[in-house]
Structure 1
Amino acid sequence: MSFPDRVIQVLLTDQDRIAVEHGPRTVTRGELLAMIGKVAAGLRAAGLGPGSGVAMELGVSPESLAAYLAGYASGCRVLGVRPGLSRAQQRHLIDGGVEQVLTDEAVAKLLRGPAEPVDVRARPQDVARLIHTSGSTGRPKGCAQTYAAMSAHWSWGGAWGPATADLAARMDRYLLFGTLASAVVQDFAALCLLHGGTAVIPELGEGPLFPDVIERLRISASIMNVPRLYQMLTALSEKPVDTESLRALVVSGSPLAPHRLAETAERLGPVVFQSYGQTETGNLALLTPADIAAGVLDAVGRPQSGVEIDIRDGEIFARSPYQMTGYWRDPDQTAEVLVDGWVRTRDLGHFDDAGFLHLSGRTRDVIIVDALPVYAGPIEQVLASLPDVDQAYVVGTPDDRRGEAVHAFVVPRDGRVPDRAVLSAAVRDALGESSVPQTIEFVPEAPMAPSGKPDKRALLVLYPRP
């Protein structure tokens, strides 16, 4: 069954079953289906359909989930605008072939219209969604997935491998939070709905989300990046919380140290999955609770069903039926990453004799902050463009709170003393909050490597970061 027909068909059955829970409010499958029909009817009335570009500037709510599904049912090219982007980045996204922007207010207006049956109009060859990630120029790049790719997707598609089927079976009450602009958030919401579970949206503003939300809302499954996991482990050590309802905790976004993975499994039980993938590829490998129980702690799992991985000179190349077809309107970048149908991940790794994939580093000058890629080059360019700055060098270091932290080394111009607040504001305005350096160190010069190029890593030796 093609995408998104499978989701619609599930919602058509047992329509009194709770599909979404938002605070004290519950939304049944039938009610969610009715919302999808209303938004889709509004899109048709606006002349939007197969091949049309629709941007979603939405929070996390049942209505937002319905809007995304309506966009897919209408055959549109759907892109989510995630929070934290600068205005320039937002404009870049919206200017990329978008014919309508749906805000929470616009969706609410569409939901006041008449209910109509959902008419799935998606065409396999059309682009279903653009999932954006920051590129090496600091401008978001849209990874295009077709409706055909989504029909074969590891989560949305029907051919679940054993690891995915086991994970789906644990999705009775899936914690839906963050932003639906994230492919990961969308994909696990799909896994929940297709399993027959309930997507549980927490009411925010009640203090830290984790770990209390697991006990309070009886959560059975959640996704989490590594820094958030570290924060939760610290909180659990200070104040025990009942996590007995939790059956699946999927950790992704950056490498998880083996001793912390063992600590997590010991504290939470056989519920931990570790996921590896990229925006360009989707999920590539999954480490399961059974793997962890068997003592596999330093790998990211075995390849997902339908995924091929080839190690070329230490670099990971991947191919799957649900990978991107390319970067939207960026043939040059596409040609660099797509090589004869394979995605060049620019991650380094190897397989062991048991078929587990191990990561050993990255070929890219990228810093993973809160599970999102932040590129050093654009930050350096922004800083070096300011009047009081002669040179700027940016590096990343491990950080328990955010995965990695951004640090900048600045060589002042003509003996001036730049204002750190001005430097931070310039980066924030140009690239967004996640790119703002945690520290800015003023240095007289940058050491040189034997190649004659500035040695940024040597700066960390001369000026260690906290």
Structure 2
Amino acid sequence: MIKSPRGFNDKRSLSALRQITERERAIVRLPNGLAAAATLWELYKSGVVAVPVSPRVDAAYLAFVSKHSGASWIVDRSGVARVRESDARGALDDLVSSDDRFLMYTSGSTGGPKGVVLGREAVEHNARTVATAHRFTDGPHGTFLPLFHCNALMMSLIGTQLSGSTLVLFDRFEPRFFERELDEYGVRTVSMVPAMIHDLIAAAPKWPRSLDYVITAAAPLSSELAAAFFDLYGPRLVQGYGLTEAVNFSCLCPLMSDAQFRSEYIDAHPPIGQPLPGTDAKIIDGELYVSGPNLMRCYWRDPETTHSVLQNGWLRTGDLATVRRGLLVLSGRRKEQINRGGESLSPHTVETAYSARGVKHTVVFGVRDHRLGEDIGVWVDNVLNAQELLCAQADSLAPAVVVSGPLPRTESHKVKRLQVGFGLRGRTESQSRYGSLLDAAMRVARRVSSAETTKHVRNTSAAEYILQEAQRLIEFERLCAGDVDAGPGDTGSAEKALGVLADSWSDVVAERRSGEDLMRGMPGFWEELMCGWPMGVYAELAATLLKERSLLSGRVLELAAGIGNASRLVAPHVTGEYLRTDKHVALLERLPLRGAKARLDFDCPTDLGQFDVIFAVNGLHCAAHKAATLRFIYQSLKTGGSVLLAEGARTTTVEGCPWALNMFYGLFDGWWNIGGFLERREWLSLMADAGFDELGFSRYRAGRHDLGGLIWGRRSS
């Protein structure tokens, strides 16, 4: 028996299914409810190969499934229809076995969707075993999961029908009504995913009188979530594990006492239990393999991938596992492991470490790094609150990238970790090159501080700012006993710039020459400095993110374009409208690039219309009123538009080491009289105050020195 709050009385729809013959493939695209349940059960009994898909899939995905599956029919809200012959690719062929019952397309959390072929024997073995394990015959079983989800289809629908039990099918999840709805139907067990459990805890309804326990699977359960559940409802939570390729459940935890639950679910990462009767499991090189009568027949029309995961009756799950006190425990997907310079990091391990320092509910993923190969990225719900705890420079688990905003998930609520990190990267360098530059800066700092002319430095001048930065460097050198890890590395124009400062110090103190005067006497040097190391790295980082995140197709505005160190990298890839701006338009004229040019002064900006993307590379720190400038940027973005800033850092270590070029840039108006670089936390706070959300950042690091990097946000409304 199947029950649902909405009911179902359309007998004509079921009779229309009789025109679909055994072994034909039929796409089922129905909203959750009795109609979907009745349709899938009827097709199952008739020997039709059902291809369940979400009713929310877009036209492109539906076209892919239709073509790839070779489906002859589609069942949706409009009824039962035969697919055009050109799309069917033959309803019956040698690839179809008379035992096949489902062609399930995987969610693709670490890759594209694959069609999993499940036969009747495998389906019924798993469904009956799970129904017995949960004693479905003792009382109604309920599910909030959609029937195109393998868990709901195999365990909840097929399991209850084969065991002669009652299924209560809820077509939506409303935590407020949890107690009332489950008691109304006498539900004894209910299936939910962790995301629903999170919402249940937030609403905190009373526990239904009829309910024995909650079954959870499909996505990993965290210790934090298990602890919150336990605080409200006790140990009435059972986690299971399975893959579509193994029909549904392969492992299941038993119900536990309070003490057992605390030990297994809260004090340690929650286990997935023990193999079900008839299922065997083994661990090879840290990866879980399962075997038994409930395995898929193949990946549809993909023999190569089938062979790579299914050999000699064993399914390679792709999940990393260990055994703890007789229970299997997962530690992540092999494909999601982060290979950082040869060191393999498990996202789960990193998430646990972050949780221990007070940053809860993180999602860790890999990002690219040109030196290490990969580095750590992390999603957090609040970047402002988390960034200080996560980014202690001396910490080996400090992330290269931090993001926030909506998480991409599969239809079964699994986080698509690989998609979260798509197009994002950090930047690391060995400390020796930057250490050499810092060592040069310290030499200049000592020279400046000890110069005879220094006693004539006037208050509120460029020289005063430079002297203060020199004294900060000397203090850092004293605290760290000169340990800057200087080594070989071409510091080029950056070290030359420090030499220019030292050689002209007496003129700077006497205010005979400014930074602008010095650069006019060195034609081409400013461009060499801004395009070379390390300044050119910020432009490279910004250009790479804009390209790899496909942010250059609309109206693009560049602020403080200057001599074009970023413009020359971005311009060839802009497919929409590109507007370069600067306070000094003459600088823009020097570089012949596509797009328009305009004057824009941060401190009295003019309306240039609305843009899809606005970016600036080491420019916005020159704004006298940064909060007002960011509000202007916010208003200049279209809804859904993004801002990207590439900025250095005022200090680069936890001990407060000044950025090596602070002294040199103190020669220039717009730096010494405004304050130079900000700290990352200041930018993030200013952007949040301006209205930006989905904040994030990536870091540019040289050893233990955090040199700033990228900061971004989005105008969502």
Give TM-score, length-normalised by structure 1.
0.67
Contact kept, 8 Å, 2:6 with 2:33, in 1: the verdict is no
Answer yes or no: is 1:334 the counterpart of 2:300: no
Contact kept, 8 Å, 1:309 with 1:316, in 2: the verdict is yes
Task: Mark the CA change 1:392 to 1:293 in structure 2 (over 3 Å): closer, same or farther.
Answer: same
- Deviation digits for residues 50-74 of structure 1, max 9, x if unmatched? 2x11100112232321211222222
Q: How many residues align?
A: 373
Task: Mark the CA change 1:285 to 1:242 in structure 2 (over 3 Å): closer, same or farther.
Answer: closer
- Deviation digits for residues 382-439 of structure 1, max 9, x if unmatched? 99xx99922349xxxxxxxxxxxxxxxxxx945963778368xxxxxxxxxxxxxx94
Paired residue for 2:661?
none
* Among candidates 203, 206, 217, match of residue 252 of structure 1: 217
Where do 1:382-421 residues align within 5 Å? 389-392=546-549, 413-414=570-571, 417=614, 421=640
Greater C-alpha Rg: 2
**CA distance in 1 between partners of 2:331 and 2:570 (Å):** 38
Answer yes or no: is 1:150 the counterpart of 2:123: yes
Paired residue for 2:206?
241
**CA distance in 1 between partners of 2:303 and 2:151 (Å):** 25
Extract unaligned runs of 5+ from structure 1.
1-18, 109-122, 394-411, 424-437, 450-457
- 2:422 alignment partner, SS class: helix
* Among candidates 320, 333, 356, match of residue 362 of structure 1: 333
- Deviation digits for residues 332-361 of structure 1, max 9, x if unmatched? 322332233322212111123x42101122
Paired residue for 2:134?
167
- For the aligned residue pairs, the C-alpha RMSD in angstroms reads 4.3
Extract unaligned runs of 5+ from structure 2.
82-95, 337-364, 366-406, 426-542, 551-568, 572-579, 581-612, 616-636, 643-692
* Among candidates 67, 71, 80, match of residue 95 of structure 1: 67
**CA distance in 2 between partners of 1:368 and 1:304 (Å):** 31
* Among candidates 179, 186, 193, match of residue 225 of structure 1: 193
Structure with greater helix percent? 2
Q: Which amino acid aligns with 2:146?
A: T
Paired residue for 2:157?
189
Structure 1 segments, 4+ long, off by >6 Å, are 34-37, 445-449, 458-465
Paired residue for 2:113?
140
Specify which structure has the bigger relative contact order, considering alpha-carbon pairs within 8 angstroms and separated by 6 or more residues: 1
**CA distance in 1 between partners of 2:280 and 2:202 (Å):** 37
- The share of aligned pairs that are identical, in percent, is 22
Structure 1 window deviating more from structure 2 (142-151 vs 284-293): it is 284-293
Answer yes or no: is 1:321 the counterpart of 2:293: yes
Task: Mark the CA change 1:83 to 1:440 in structure 2 (over 3 Å): closer, same or farther.
Answer: farther
> What is the Cα deviation at residue 464 of structure 1?
12
Paired residue for 2:48?
76
Paired residue for 2:321?
349
* Among candidates 380, 393, 405, match of residue 422 of structure 2: 380
**CA distance in 1 between partners of 2:18 and 2:707 (Å):** 58
Contact kept, 8 Å, 1:54 with 1:99, in 2: the verdict is yes
**CA distance in 1 between partners of 2:76 and 2:707 (Å):** 45
**CA distance in 2 between partners of 1:341 and 1:460 (Å):** 52
- 2:282 alignment partner, SS class: strand
> What is the Cα deviation at residue 39 of structure 1?
4.6
Task: Mark the CA change 1:73 to 1:360 in structure 2 (over 3 Å): closer, same or farther.
Answer: same
* Among candidates 1, 23, 28, match of residue 56 of structure 1: 28
- Deviation digits for residues 150-198 of structure 1, max 9, x if unmatched? 232x21x4xx3xx752413376232244321111111222223344332
- Deviation digits for residues 281-328 of structure 1, max 9, x if unmatched? 221110121477644333211111111111111111112211112211
Paired residue for 1:285?
251
Contact kept, 8 Å, 2:408 with 2:420, in 1: the verdict is no
Contact kept, 8 Å, 2:41 with 2:158, in 1: the verdict is no
Paired residue for 1:22?
4
- 1:245 alignment partner, SS class: coil
> What is the Cα deviation at residue 254 of structure 1?
2.6
Paired residue for 1:38?
15
- Deviation digits for residues 209-262 of structure 1, max 9, x if unmatched? 6455334544322111112112211211xxx42412112310112332345435
